[in-house]
Chain A
Amino acid sequence: MPVEKSFEPAIVAFCCNWCTYTGADLAGLNRMKYPENVHVIRVPCSGRVNPQFILRAFQKGCDGVMVCGCHPGDCHYSTGNYFTRRRFMIMKRLLEYNGIDPERFHARWISGSEAAKFRDTAAEVSEHVKKLGPNVKYREEFRITESAEAGT
């Protein structure tokens, strides 16, 4: 698949309602600019993010995925993000083991007041993914025979 010069990645960010989503909102209120290819999906808690969501995102054409929640200790439901932390430590390693570039998946703790951290993280991830080019691994468009060569 040729990498076009103007490639703009699609990145989804699963943001917990109580911290990161509020942080992203604050970034907006403060007129901070972050790359528009980061698409925010609001979830009640980072613990809501099923690892299946990540796989499906890659399958449906995302080039990068972020999971963001409250800092450990600050979860609105007390313990949700402690489970998130374990779950994605394992999932991240499993994705890499299956050939997904580590730069394509990120988990971050961003609080409701860290608007700048949200902006910086979004910019950083978007830039990394842009460099990597479009994701072909796990993409549904690639049929069995084609994807053997498409494994860039």
Chain B
Amino acid sequence: MSEKQEKMRQCAEKLLRDGEAGYVIGWGETRFDDRTTPIFVEDPAGAGAFVWNEYAINSLAKYLLDDKYPDKKIGLFTRGCESRAINRLLKDNQIKRENVYLIGVPCDGKKSDRCTLCRERNPILYDVLLWTPEDDPPPAAGRFDRVKDIEAMSPDERYVYWGETYDSCIRCYACRNVCPACNCRECYADMSKTGFQGKQHSRSDNQIFGVTRAFHVGDRCIECGECERVCPMNLPIMGQTQKILKDINELTGEYECGMDATSENYLGRFDLDDKDEFM
């Protein structure tokens, strides 16, 4: 562990000293042993603050949106999930590849529920790889298990399941803020004058927010699990986006996002031979 951490610190220090990167984003210590926090280091002397342990959980890629026109490159420690998020941001035209310097750090799985879903521990794209790739975990047999469980319920049970789930949503929008696929400059949920989304804390408005959020990101979701990790109410909201992905998989065959920066998302294109259910 500490050998890898040492490599990361050295790499960050060199990048900053050579002026290749303006700052580097990574994980740093907190007051708690079992927590880390994202940190932004500008000073080469500060590179010793980076840590690498089983609590380096946060996905870092979304911070790139906060600085779209940097003077120098932004250094970013990149695992599998960060690299898929970067592919997402590149495909959605949110960042420029030449503005980031990706330091590949193959991941060994962290202490987080979101890592149980992970199928891509090694960075897909990077500028430098700090150590040998890890073995990917066995393909998650149950990618859509939870969706199947919900599908097996009756329509009324499904309504109650999601209704009760969204009853405790506090509309903090953390799920939106953390998601690499949620990258509009202004979110429909904040446009209070358009009437798209009611602000009330009612089951109806909460459910509409939940379904709409899922629909806006569903066909571009990289399945990083960040939305569920940050939800303060622990709501199983990936059950909605996973449903969309499952349907797309059934309609067009194998479909997974963030594996490259060029594939068009499902709802952004069409096929003349698409199934027609609406005759």
Contact = CB atoms under 8 A, between A and B. Distances in A.
Interface of A: 51-52, 55-56, 59, 72, 79, 82-83, 85-101, 107-109, 137-140, 142-144, 147-148, 151-152
Contacts of B201: 144
B240 interface: yes
B218 A138 contact: no
A93 B243 contact: yes
A55 B274 contact: no
Given A56-B208, A82-B272, A90 B279 contact: no
Given A85-B276, A97-B243, A100-B155, 11 more contacts: A52-B196, A56-B196, A59-B204, A94-B247, A95-B211, A97-B240, A99-B156, A99-B159, A108-B279, A143-B202, A143-B203
Given A98-B158, A138-B207, A142-B204, A52 B212 contact: yes
Contact of B151 (A59, A91, A97): A97
Interface residues of B, number: 50
Given A56-B208, A99-B155, A143-B203, A94 B215 contact: yes
B267 A99 contact: no
Contacts of B208: 52, 55-56, 59, 138
Interface of B: 147, 150-151, 155-164, 167, 188, 195-198, 200-205, 207-208, 211-212, 214-215, 218-219, 240, 243-244, 247-248, 251, 266-267, 270-272, 274-279
Contacts of A100: 155, 159
B109 to A, nearest CB: 30
A151 B215 contact: no
A59 B211 CA distance: 13
Contact of A59 (B163, B198, B270, B272): B198
Given A90-B267, A108-B278, A140-B205, A148 B164 contact: yes
B247 A90 contact: yes
B196 A94 contact: no
Given A86-B274, A108-B278, A151-B156, A94 B244 contact: yes
A140 B198 contact: yes
Q: Which 8 A-B pairs have the closest CB atoms?
A: A99-B159, A82-B270, A99-B158, A107-B278, A140-B204, A55-B208, A144-B203, A151-B160
25 contacts: A51-B215, A52-B197, A56-B196, A72-B272, A79-B270, A82-B272, A83-B267, A85-B274, A86-B274, A87-B267, A90-B215, A90-B219, A90-B244, A90-B267, A94-B243, A94-B247, A98-B158, A98-B211, A99-B155, A108-B278, A109-B279, A138-B208, A140-B205, A144-B202, A151-B163
B235 to A, nearest CB: 14
Nearest to A91: B215
Contacts, number: 124
Contacts of B218: 90, 94
A102 B143 CA distance: 26
Contacts of A95: 211
Nearest to A106: B278
B158 A85 contact: no
A96 to B, nearest CB: 7
Contacts of B167: 144, 148
A24 B271 CA distance: 29
Nearest to B278: A107
Contacts of B278: 85, 88, 107-109
Contacts of B271: 82
Contacts of A88: 278
